């Protein structure tokens, strides 16, 4: 997984069509350059990378080159998966995300 994002990883999870990677902080998340060519060869549809943020509980980046989306900054499906993940991680029921 490290070769997908080229930054240190905190956690990696996978479901039937998506990898979820958590990195330590917002700076790492914003600076990462995903290996889209490698990602497009994997048997998953997309990759969500997330981190804690200074103004929010979490922020995501979403990549899906297999279906023609290099990056989508406003994907609801990413937040639908990240909300319960982040809620459990933070022990919070109300979250603020970007």
Q: What is the pLDDT of residues 7-49, one digit of tens each?
A: 999 999 887 788 899 999 999 999 999 999 999 998 888 899 9
Q: Within 10 A of 64 (CB to CB), how many other CB atoms are there?
A: 23
Length of the chain: 98
Average pLDDT over residues 66-82: 81
High-pLDDT (> 90) share of the chain, %: 45
pTM passes above 0.75 = yes
Per-residue pLDDT at 82 exceeds 90? no
Share of the chain above pLDDT 70, in %: 98
Output the average pLDDT for the chain.
86
The structure tokens 């290996």 sit at 35
In this prediction, residue 18 carries a pLDDT of 85
Round to whole Å and give the CA distance between 80 and 24: 21
74 — pLDDT class (breaks 50, 70, 90): low
């Amino acid at each position: 997984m490290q070769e997908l994002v080229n930054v240190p990883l905190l956690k990696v999870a996978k479901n039937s069509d998506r990898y979820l990677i958590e990195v330590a902080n917002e700076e790492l998340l914003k600076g990462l350059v995903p290996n889209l060519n490698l990602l497009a060869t994997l048997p998953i549809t997309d990759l969500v990378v997330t981190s804690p943020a200074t103004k929010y509980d979490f922020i995501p980046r979403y990549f899906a080159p297999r279906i023609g989306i290099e990056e989508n900054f406003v994907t609801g499906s990413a937040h639908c998966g990240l909300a319960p993940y982040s809620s459990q991680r933070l022990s919070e029921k109300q979250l603020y995300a970007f």
